[in-house]
Amino acid sequence: MYNAQSPQQYIGNPAYQPNPAYPPAPGFVPTPGYAPPAVIAPAPTPAPAPMPSININVNQNQDHETGNATKPAPTGVVTNQPIVVAPPMVFKGTPVQMTCPSCKRDIMTQPVYKAGGMTWLICGILGIFGFWLCCWIPFVVDSCKDATHYCPQCRTIVGSYKPL
């Protein structure tokens, strides 16, 4: 809860200490006998002592048993190759753009459709419910059939899709 008090209530109050970082407002008349608190600066920190220098001469091209110089060790550049992990390819009943794992070419797969479980299930459901004259429809609709995806370049199987 905000209690609006007049500035006159603060002037004679010894518990009131103004912030010394802010200058007094123009026209402010301090109370007689009031002195602002002294600002104490922090003590300066001493500079850290210098570290002693240690010189160690190590000749890595020197035989440790005899002290004779040897050939420098060959230095080679070792680079770590990033490992790329591709997510598994998701095949549907439509052609898919991909890189063939066999011939390494960018291809658009060629799906070949064949009657599968979903085709026979829809045919059976249509026959059970009396639509036996329509039982042939799932055999001509590609989305009801299983699809096997081939590479058009090397003719290898790159994936398959079974709707059921």
Query: Mean pLDDT for each consecutive 10-residue tract of the chain (164 residues)?
Result: 52 59 70 66 74 61 58 66 76 91 93 96 94 93 95 94 90
Cα separation, 9 vs 39, whole angstroms: 25
For residue 104 the two structure tokens come to 């390494």
pLDDT given for residue 109 in this prediction: 94
pLDDT given for residue 59 in this prediction: 55
pLDDT given for residue 1 in this prediction: 47
pLDDT given for residue 60 in this prediction: 57
Q: Which residue has the tokens 């009396």?
A: 130
pLDDT given for residue 125 in this prediction: 95
| Length of the chain counted residue by residue | 164
Cα separation, 142 vs 163, whole angstroms: 11
pLDDT given for residue 140 in this prediction: 95
Cα separation, 143 vs 149, whole angstroms: 14
pLDDT given for residue 61 in this prediction: 57
For the chain, the 3-state helix, strand and coil shares in percent, each to the nearest 5, are 15, 15, 70
- What stretch of H or E contains 120? helix 117-128
pLDDT given for residue 70 in this prediction: 60
pLDDT given for residue 45 in this prediction: 77
Q: How far is CA 54 from the centre of its chain?
A: 44
